[in-house]
Structure 1
Amino acid sequence: MTLIRRLCAGTCAIALVAGFGTAGAYAQSTETNTEENASDDTITITGSRIRRSNATAAIPVQVLNAQAVQETGSVDVGEIVTQIPGVNYDLSPENTGLSVQNPGLSTVNLRRLGGDRTLTLIDGRRAVSNAGNGERVSLDTIPSGFIDSIEVTTGGASAIYGSDAIAGVVNVILKDDWEGFEVNMRYGEAEASGEEETNIDLTWGRNFAGGRGNFLLGFSYEEEGAIFADETRPDSILAVNWSEPGDEGNFNDETILPGCDNSGRFCINPTGSAYLPGGKFESDDAWNVDGVWFNDQSLLPNDGRTSAEAWETYPDGFNDRIGRTLSPEYEIYTLAAKTDFELSPNISIFFDGLYTELETMTRNAPEIATDGDTFALLDANGMAMRDADGRVITDELRQIASSHPFIHPAVQETRVGAVAWDRRFTEIGWDDKINERNTLRTAFGFEGDIWGDWEWTLYGTYGRFEQTQTTPNELNLRNINFALDVESDGGSGFQCADAGARADGCVPLDIFGTNSISEPAADYIRYTAVLEQERTQKTFAGSMNGDLFQLPAGMVKTAFGFEYREEDQKTSGQDGDLLLVTTTTAVPDIEAGFDVTEVYGEIDIPVLDTLSAQLALRVADYSTVGEVVSYNVGGSWFPTDDIRFRAQYSRSQRAPTLTEFFSPPRGDFDSLDDPCSGLNADGTGITAPAGSDASTATIAANCLAEAGIQAYFANPDNAGQPFEGDGSVRGPNQGNSNLTEETADTFTAGFVLTPSAIPNLTVIVDYYDIKVEDAIGSIETQLTADLCYTAADYPDNRFCNVITRNGNSGEIAEVINQVENLNELVAEGIDAAIDYEWEFGFAPGEFDINVIYTHYLENSFTFQGLNGPEEEEQLGQIDNPEDEYRAKLGYSIGDFRATWTALYRSGGVDDLDVADDAPDYFKAGSQTFHNLYLSYVLRDEPRVRLYGGVNNVFDEIGPLIPSGLDAGSSRNIVSSLNDTEGREFFAGISARW
């Protein structure tokens, strides 16, 4: 009999969460009013299931009430929550523009430990995930107008809530037991881009049956336009790259850093895409014959030059930045319903329902293709053909026959042989991803009281998430081959040579020049990809809480319960193996599930009048990883009414997600600086990766041992040319059924100061140290390649085993990113908060200030490398600042209120390893964003309130962070230090009857 069954059969272990010790500790709400804080009513606060007095609660929770939510000036719940220091985006509308499965999602990440280690609750209950590849609740499925409060606790909470609560909990509490009718309308517009936001919330509630029941109904509509990379955000369309300088050129002088003309210095350099809308031919020489170096159909150079020159990405490349979305377009409809009814004085029944329809659109540059691109060979049944080892047999895009009738006659006179080519297919259309996501969350149950002071609840939940992702402008590579194989139709025209292809609608393809592809040809090679994902969650749970017995120092309180949960996931593509002949990043079909049974308990023991001890225990039995035990041990001490001390140690776990445990390789692409780039046939030209002590001789020997690189140097066309392998590579992510659960040990200690000599002042300081052992993750593609080729035991190590090179070109074709249990994640830091309200005798009105500050001491991960543990410190890098704060100053007089909020994040370097050896390496300065909020109550009955303000008052966009940097991207201004929207003006009106 397992431990959990013994516990279920016998006495459930009783324990209590040490509320004072939760990391990121903030005592009572810093955003609630004094009267609420003084209440003696007992309530359940996130971080514990024991009801406590709000005036003396030890639970370190940051609370934003409905007013505080409004005063953020935003209707995006993700944006609202991430204003709290220590809470960061995991997935955001801005950083998911290139995501294969998750464009437009809005999920959070506490302490930078990852979204899967942050548990998001709705009304204290688990919610179905909105991602097919993780346990992530998208906050944009929760309308801000329905929110009563948001509670955030940081630190190990698995003993209370189960798996995923390693970093902490975000609990979104919706309106309840509400009477009246309220309408809220808001309009906002970004000054630079003109992007518009429209939001309408309708809420209606009433009591019935003489007050024994309440019914609440809500509707919300939200629409936000896309922000595109264009001249309104000039930094976003600069075609630049962070690299060692080549020809400095004259691209944009103001973006060139000092020293760019010095060899070996890293700089922001002009660049461009090698894939042109009109095509590029004959490799990088591009018709470089008899003075004709670029073919734009007229055979004239594209900038007036007449001399023959080799093609260069700058100034000849294409600016693929223009037109991409920096922030997606989205539209959200939400319907909410809540009801409860008192069946008897001791028993009530309740139902909660929340349904959301969310549609987003993200845009990237049109698709590209080149001869040599591979795709699957399909059999007569449309299934991919495979070899004896199960690997897909591939074909490739062919070079264009020299007899092709669309080759310009003048070119035919100066060259022979097949034509190498690459091209951007702008005629097909933008690479859009349109996502439709529907989410249903329901809960039904009973609750009541027994034996006077004991409360109980018994409920079930059902959640379902459905996603349909449509990518309408992919390329069918097999059809491109058919369409490039052209012959005479026997008359004055041309036709596809393959009769079967003609029967399927093949149209001859002319890729020579901009806009040369006819609409029928574009239709033939265009492919619309459809990805469908489903998640379901079923829960049955029950709990009790109440007073056990009286001790001299007070009442011993307890809470205990059970939970059974099933999670299922299904991912499928519409056309099966047909995806494998297209440019679509294939997501494999997955159908998987798990179940878990859990029991838990808490106890709060008053040891002395001023000292209490808290314990909590949870035992879970997973169908995937087996039995898991989590616990908390802590205490709180009140030496005086003015100060309270707290400390806690917790052991938390996280079980692997369905994707982490079951997923076959999922398509993805990563940028890679090939460790073998620069290699000459004699072994010279190699440089060691940044931060590596490996000898260049070892790296060169390992690279020269690769069959594909040997084939590259054996090719006469490459004589005297160094090997260059940098670029984009397939980096599929793969699950691992050998994973075990993560284990996190968290220690926190702090104090809450409420000095009686200074009324309305609260000062809170907490230290936290979170260590996650056996952390589930994958080593990034770049690091995997570096560790493979710098190793003395190449190729017999686990890093080389996941790398595949092209047998002819030598380029890395694929690096599989399989998740594994890494050694350790560490997050350590100090939180502080100040909350104060006061009046000046010489001035009317009331002032209030709220400051929340986080200082990180460590943020690192460790994994088992070739020669022992390898540690990667991340603190002080651009997306891992050392300091964050949120400071809000408020002023109220009568019916008028104004707030000014400053949000600060410190800057950093892009790569700590490189920065150690290169003091002038890329650094980004700190950023502070300022928001103004104003509101005025026009009348009290019905209550009518006008509000408005300015977000990002000083229009701070943040630093230029280009591609080529770890924190960079081709969007240049999409990072934690940037605000792509810029200054936004908004205004609204709300009325309640």
Structure 2
Amino acid sequence: MGDGSMKFNKVAKLVSLACGGVVALSAPTYAAEKDEDTVERIEVTGSRLKRVDMEGASPVTTITAEDMATAGFATVGDALRSSSLNSFGSYGGTSNNSWSSQATIQLKGASASHTLTLLDGKRMAKSPVLGGGATNINTIPTAAVERIEILTDGASAIYGTDAIAGVINIILKKDFEGVEVKIRAEQPDADGGGDNHSASFTGGLSTDKGNLMFTIEHFKKSGIVMNERPYTAAHAIDGEDPSVFQSWIGISPTGRTVNTGPNGGWENHAPFTNAGLDCADVYGDAFKGPLSDSDWAGESYCGYDYTTSAYLDVDQERTSTLLNYTYNISDDIELTARAYWASNVTTDVSAPIPGTIRFDEDMPAYTTAAGLDLRAVPEGGSMKYRFDTAGNRVRETTDSIYDFLVGLDGTTDSFDWNASASYNRYDVFKWGTGYQLIGATTDLVGGWDDDTNSFEGWDPRDPNSEAPAGATANSDARLTSSALEIDGGLSFELFELAGGATGLYVGASYREEKLDSQVDALDEAGLIAGGSGGAGGSGERDVKAIFMEMAFPVLDNLEVNLAARYDEYSDFGGTFNPQVSVRYNVLEPLLIRASWGTGFRAPTLEDLNQSASVGVGTVTNYLKCYEDGMDIKGCQIENEIPISVNRNENLGPEESESYNIGMVWDITDNFNMSVDYWSLETEGLIGSILNDEIVRAQAELWKAADEAGQPRPDISAIYPGTSVSQDGSGKLSSVTNIKQNIGLSERQGIDAKFASTFETEMGDFKLGLAWSHYLKYTDSSPEGGVQTISRNLSGTEYYPDDRVNFSANYLVGDHSLFYQADYIDHQSTDDENDNGSYHQIDSIVYHTLSYSYTMPWNNIVSAGINNLTDEEPSFRANGTYDSDTYDIIGRTYWVSFSQTF
């Protein structure tokens, strides 16, 4: 671009005017006096063309390292997940699932796989735990981060797959000189769990020829057991009868409960009949009852309090190192080299495995040597049994990430050029103990011996009868994903327009991706209760791409940008994505911007290669209802059958169309604002069809064909790769399912940001506000073979339509006082209260307060309180909550210290 473009643009600051809070705005377009002699072009997230301005045609929000430290965030993941741009919340690494080592970011409330995460403009390693579809933001070393740029616009025309909802670009420190040591500790107010601490060392050298920076960081946090927080500890619902099982939260019926089966009326009872004993006396403190059943008079349970052992949040320990090196080979060529490694060890504890033991023989009533009167269970009966005798389920996950980059940037009299090669690899090993081998327990049960007139072998009703070995097994997995990418491009100035020279960037890339996801043989066969299930399979592919950008400075105050990209995948074909954007300065301080583009997400290697798995589930038999002349929709006949889930090698990409219209207004030198309206429509979303839907759609096809006098078509005509089978009596015998490109969604919203500074004799004040408002969110689901669009879900459960971040920073001399408020709006639900009204999930405000003092010896000490008012999550009518949206740690106190030499 020529000097003409400098007539109406200035270099935007990289640090927000609001600074001191994560509600940062990009700096005002006209925030400083013009100095054309010092103007340089910079590359901004969302474009490969280097520009004079940071405020472009697409909205970019900046969070600096100082912002994160001041606001008390322990990790990069915490800062991103707290942003108002993370509209509906995102997964943060909670326990009792196979994702417990992960954390994600979901811009615009879209899928985590619709947000692309970059490290200095290059793709970060994708996590195989997430199927290779998203990045684990838990692995990034906070000490190495200079800033984070968040692009809230579709960008597939620039970056390719995944950039549907936006892009997170983590910019690393590069020109650091000296030594910096940081330590930080955080302690919750609540007793037990949730504390964390970290330490980092950063060193840097700079010369006229380049610089070298090295960072090593260690982070550790302790897990939280569920009963260490009052809202997840077992408790009876207020006003409910605590002697009734249904009144409790945190109590499972799978404790010690026998069922008399077909020969005893299918009744549930505590396994003993002693009138003076309760379940805790017999089986231990974690057991509750006997509790009666409000649905079945005369029946009872020995329930199990799983909150005494199950984790609410996980133990995590991470060590990461990063080396960044730049060297000026000549005045016109710069070498960049980067190496990054992280190891993240996560320990997740679940309560002992619950299981059902079936009795092939009569279990007679008798009195044990300890005086326990055991209840008889007829042949064919069973027992709900918590395997606390085998200990808790413990899953240790080790994530190891390797990332290497070598790049060259050069300039000539005619053009600029760049080339790079990068390789990243993400390895995961999961080691799980305390799981149940399905089917083994029945064979291990003993029986009554008439010769000795006693019970011989294991009697699960008797707490003093030792369970034999062989009922438990491990659940292990090994997963790996990797990517090798080579790319490069050239940028030119073509012809002059009224506003300056037209800029062109053309480039190409080649990428190889691999995924290998394997679980142990018993897990693969579905024989481990509570295990990992089927594996992600193995696959590889290559991706070739060509792309271009053009910037047309039509006038001094009007610029039109065009971008286009074509990607060719070896496993599903090609996709072309264009983008058009415009920025127009109506007045010198008032910028109007607009953009339109298409995007895509390629099916992951797991989507295309996941190994087939077989499980057992209950499915509604709509076919039988139709054949018997009953209403299909109201069918209540159910069959328990094998369900096969197969791979679909014919999946296509998910596709999107997005546009953004907004304005940026530098009202004064000390106050600026931006407002952007955005729309995102997606189609072909990859998902699994409900098993009931497959059978119902088959019944609807039969009905339509019969009414038309046509042959009955197979369900595969609507859902390719699926099938339904029946036996001779009309019972379902099997269902085959498969992933499909079946989903649609439409999203619309407004993002607004305000920032201001005030300099007074008493000190400086910096204020910032970021507000994200959802206008519309609809999705689709097939019903009877017909795609049905949902009502507008914005503002309903899981989908708060407003999130606000407000920050205020007061600086005087070497002192800084900071306050931040994070607001999450209320949500309506379909749950009806006792008075006939509908339950509403309350809005919530989290408050943060911190203080920093810059000492005279190049050191800074800071202290703060997060969640100042100790807010609990906002609850549904049944007392549960959405862990993706709300804080589970509670009020915490933190302190940090940094020393620079």
Range class of TM-score, shorter chain: 0.7 to 0.9
For the residue of structure 2 that corresponds to 1:334, the secondary structure is strand
In structure 1, the residue matched to 2:764 is 846
In 2, the alpha carbon distance for the partners of 1:864 and 1:143 equals 43
In structure 2, the residue matched to 1:387 is none
For the residue of structure 2 that corresponds to 1:140, the secondary structure is helix
Q: How does 1:213-612 map to 2 (within 5 A)?
A: 213-230=210-227, 232-238=228-234, 250-251=241-242, 272-276=251-255, 278-283=256-261, 293-296=269-272, 302=278, 316-371=302-357, 399-402=360-363, 417=379, 419-451=381-413, 454-485=415-446, 508-514=457-463, 516-518=465-467, 521=468, 523-575=469-521, 580-583=526-529, 584-588=531-535, 590-612=537-559
Aligned residues: 850
Are the counterparts in 1 of residues 258 and 381 from structure 2 also a CA contact under 8 Å?
no
In structure 1, the residue matched to 2:62 is 63
Are the counterparts in 1 of residues 523 and 534 from structure 2 also a CA contact under 8 Å?
no
CA-to-partner distance for each residue in 1:302-336, whole Å, 9 max, x for gaps? Answer: 27999999688877533334432221110000011
In structure 2, the residue matched to 1:7 is none
Higher mean C-alpha displacement, 974-983 vs 468-477: 974-983
TM-score, with normalisation over the residues of structure 1? 0.77
Q: How does 1:814-963 map to 2 (within 5 A)?
A: 818-840=738-760, 844-866=762-784, 868-873=786-791, 874-911=793-830, 920-939=837-856, 942-961=857-876
In structure 1, the residue matched to 2:886 is 978
Are the counterparts in 1 of residues 290 and 300 from structure 2 also a CA contact under 8 Å?
no
Q: Report the Cα offset of residue 826 of structure 1.
A: 0.9
Are the counterparts in 2 of residues 193 and 227 from structure 1 also a CA contact under 8 Å?
no
Q: Report the Cα offset of residue 342 of structure 1.
A: 1.9
In structure 2, the residue matched to 1:11 is none
In 2, the alpha carbon distance for the partners of 1:809 and 1:122 equals 60
Are the counterparts in 2 of residues 294 and 302 from structure 1 also a CA contact under 8 Å?
no
For the residue of structure 2 that corresponds to 1:81, the secondary structure is helix
Are the counterparts in 1 of residues 765 and 809 from structure 2 also a CA contact under 8 Å?
yes
Q: Report the Cα offset of residue 575 of structure 1.
A: 3.7
In structure 2, the residue matched to 1:9 is none
Q: Report the Cα offset of residue 610 of structure 1.
A: 1.6
Higher mean C-alpha displacement, 560-569 vs 818-827: 818-827
Closer, same or farther: CA 601–480 of 1 in aligned 2, 3 Å:
same
Letter in 2 for 1:251: P
In 2, the alpha carbon distance for the partners of 1:430 and 1:846 equals 54
In 1, the alpha carbon distance for the partners of 2:17 and 2:565 equals 24
Q: Report the Cα offset of residue 37 of structure 1.
A: 5.8
CA-to-partner distance for each residue in 1:59-106, whole Å, 9 max, x for gaps? Answer: 4200111211212211221220122222257752355x3433x22201
1:165 aligns with 2:163: yes
Match of 2:651 among 739, 745, 754: 739
In 1, the alpha carbon distance for the partners of 2:218 and 2:733 equals 45
For the residue of structure 2 that corresponds to 1:750, the secondary structure is strand
In 2, the alpha carbon distance for the partners of 1:818 and 1:326 equals 33
In structure 1, the residue matched to 2:13 is none
Are the counterparts in 1 of residues 234 and 251 from structure 2 also a CA contact under 8 Å?
no
For the residue of structure 1 that corresponds to 2:304, the secondary structure is coil
Higher mean C-alpha displacement, 66-75 vs 762-771: 66-75
In 2, the alpha carbon distance for the partners of 1:933 and 1:772 equals 41
Q: Report the Cα offset of residue 449 of structure 1.
A: 1.5
Are the counterparts in 1 of residues 158 and 547 from structure 2 also a CA contact under 8 Å?
yes
Are the counterparts in 1 of residues 840 and 876 from structure 2 also a CA contact under 8 Å?
no
In 2, the alpha carbon distance for the partners of 1:812 and 1:27 equals 65
- Higher percent of residues as strand: 2
In structure 2, the residue matched to 1:118 is 115
Closer, same or farther: CA 854–817 of 1 in aligned 2, 3 Å:
farther
Match of 1:147 among 145, 148, 153: 145
1:129 aligns with 2:126: yes
For the residue of structure 1 that corresponds to 2:78, the secondary structure is helix
Q: How does 1:170-185 map to 2 (within 5 A)?
A: 170-185=168-183
Letter in 2 for 1:109: Q
Are the counterparts in 1 of residues 446 and 459 from structure 2 also a CA contact under 8 Å?
no
Q: Report the Cα offset of residue 484 of structure 1.
A: 1.7
Are the counterparts in 2 of residues 74 and 80 from structure 1 also a CA contact under 8 Å?
yes
Q: Report the Cα offset of residue 419 of structure 1.
A: 4.2
Match of 1:771 among 681, 697, 700: 681
In 2, the alpha carbon distance for the partners of 1:444 and 1:143 equals 20
In 1, the alpha carbon distance for the partners of 2:643 and 2:96 equals 14
Letter in 2 for 1:236: T
Match of 2:669 among 741, 752, 759: 759
Q: Percent identity?
A: 21
Q: Report the Cα offset of residue 369 of structure 1.
A: 1.7
Letter in 1 for 2:752: A
Q: Report the Cα offset of residue 301 of structure 1.
A: 5.7
Closer, same or farther: CA 314–665 of 1 in aligned 2, 3 Å:
farther
Closer, same or farther: CA 315–838 of 1 in aligned 2, 3 Å:
farther
In 2, the alpha carbon distance for the partners of 1:313 and 1:802 equals 41
Closer, same or farther: CA 34–621 of 1 in aligned 2, 3 Å:
closer
1:661 aligns with 2:569: no
CA-to-partner distance for each residue in 1:752-792, whole Å, 9 max, x for gaps? Answer: 1112xx32211111111111122222346787788788998
For the residue of structure 2 that corresponds to 1:68, the secondary structure is helix
Are the counterparts in 2 of residues 676 and 699 from structure 1 also a CA contact under 8 Å?
no
In structure 2, the residue matched to 1:198 is 197
In 2, the alpha carbon distance for the partners of 1:52 and 1:416 equals 80
Q: Report the Cα offset of residue 178 of structure 1.
A: 1.7
Letter in 2 for 1:128: A
Are the counterparts in 2 of residues 932 and 953 from structure 1 also a CA contact under 8 Å?
yes
In 2, the alpha carbon distance for the partners of 1:84 and 1:577 equals 38
Are the counterparts in 2 of residues 829 and 858 from structure 1 also a CA contact under 8 Å?
yes
In 2, the alpha carbon distance for the partners of 1:43 and 1:731 equals 55
Q: Report the Cα offset of residue 918 of structure 1.
A: 11
Letter in 1 for 2:894: F
In 2, the alpha carbon distance for the partners of 1:649 and 1:535 equals 33
Higher mean C-alpha displacement, 54-63 vs 77-86: 54-63
Are the counterparts in 2 of residues 113 and 825 from structure 1 also a CA contact under 8 Å?
no
In 2, the alpha carbon distance for the partners of 1:214 and 1:284 equals 78
In 2, the alpha carbon distance for the partners of 1:151 and 1:285 equals 67
Uncovered stretches (5+) of structure 1, i.e. residues with no partner = 1-18, 20-25, 243-247, 257-266, 372-396, 496-507, 684-694, 710-728
For the residue of structure 2 that corresponds to 1:481, the secondary structure is helix
Q: Report the Cα offset of residue 366 of structure 1.
A: 1.3
Higher mean C-alpha displacement, 871-880 vs 781-790: 781-790
For the residue of structure 1 that corresponds to 2:77, the secondary structure is helix
**CA RMSD across the alignment:** 4.3
Q: Report the Cα offset of residue 544 of structure 1.
A: 2.4
In structure 1, the residue matched to 2:6 is none
Are the counterparts in 1 of residues 163 and 601 from structure 2 also a CA contact under 8 Å?
yes
Are the counterparts in 2 of residues 476 and 581 from structure 1 also a CA contact under 8 Å?
yes
In 2, the alpha carbon distance for the partners of 1:807 and 1:989 equals 71
Letter in 2 for 1:573: V
Q: Report the Cα offset of residue 350 of structure 1.
A: 2.1
In 1, the alpha carbon distance for the partners of 2:436 and 2:316 equals 26
Closer, same or farther: CA 814–555 of 1 in aligned 2, 3 Å:
farther
